[in-house]
Structure 1
Amino acid sequence: MDHRDPLIRATAMPTDLNPYGGVFGGWLMAQMALGAGSLASRVGKGKAVVVHGTDFTFPGAMAVGDELSIYCKVSVTGNTSLTIEAEGVARDRNSEETTKVSHGTFKFVLLDDDDKPRLVHGTDD
């Protein structure tokens, strides 16, 4: 099994639930965006803003108290952008059992100090 380090971890709390008692898909999307943004800033070595999100799926469910781990990888590197795939995996609060609960793709644009797009790798030399 491949070892992966999560970009972030969060515990689902009662305020994260929808009226049906499950964790909001929007909360899962926000956690994935936070993890993907962390990776974009690391890889891009600076400010990175999300400009697009797509292909969201929610194949599993989480309960309050479950721990969510967000795993991310860069799938496409453009001139000024990074496309990052994010996956959410829930761990049952009282066991080691895990379930994939979310997946999505985010596109980030790297910005300079003037909030203008900048190259992913270095600058024009």
Structure 2
Amino acid sequence: MPADTNAAGDIFGGWVLSQMDIAAGICAGQRAQSRVVTVALDSMSFIRPVKVGDILGIYTHVCELGRTSMAIHVEAWVRRDRIGLREKVTEGKFKFVSIDKHGNSTPIPHEDELPDYVRDGV
């Protein structure tokens, strides 16, 4: 939306970053089967601007898995002019920790402990 733009008419990078964090959090939460929190943004590259009217798509996958933490690789792509050229605009690596209801880190289940609907997407 126009309220999310800078003076040049590009979408604020912080808005794109927040959308990427939301998508990465969904990916991490599904894999952890628990609540997760963002603990680090290991890398971020803004490749091309996002313009008003672009359709933004965010794609994620788990790229590193530890005992209680994981890294999620995130790419943001746009489709220009609604049906036009598709291009990657941003990518980053977000780190999450799995936590319990008290906010303490908790182990991430092994792949064989996951429900089928989660395992099929891993």
TM bin, normalised by shorter chain, reads 0.7 to 0.9
Q: Which amino acid aligns with 2:9?
A: G
Answering whether residue 4 of structure 2 is matched by residue 16 of structure 1, we say yes
Q: Which amino acid aligns with 1:50?
A: T
- The range that moved more, 90-99 or 76-85, is 90-99
Answering whether residue 73 of structure 2 is matched by residue 79 of structure 1, we say no
List per-residue Cα deviations over 1:64-86 (Å, max 9, x = no partner).
01110000010100110010010
TM-score (norm 2): 0.85
**Counterpart in the other structure of 2:16:** 28
Q: Tell me which protein shows more helix as a share of its residues.
A: 2
Distance in 2, matches of 1:30 and 1:73, equals 17
Percent same amino acid at aligned positions?
Answer: 35
1:120 to 93, 100, 108: 108
Structure 2 unaligned segments of length 5 or more: list them.
111-122
**Counterpart in the other structure of 1:39:** 27
1:59 to 21, 43, 47: 47
Answering whether residue 91 of structure 2 is matched by residue 90 of structure 1, we say no
Q: Which amino acid aligns with 1:28?
A: V
Q: Report the Cα offset of residue 33 of structure 1.
A: 0.3
- The range that moved more, 47-56 or 113-122, is 113-122
* Number of aligned residues: 110
Runs of 4+ aligned residues of structure 1 deviating over 2 Å after TM superposition are: none
* 1:76 match: secondary structure: strand
* 2:60 match: secondary structure: strand
- The range that moved more, 66-75 or 89-98, is 89-98
- The range that moved more, 56-65 or 91-100, is 91-100
CA RMSD of aligned residues (A): 1.2
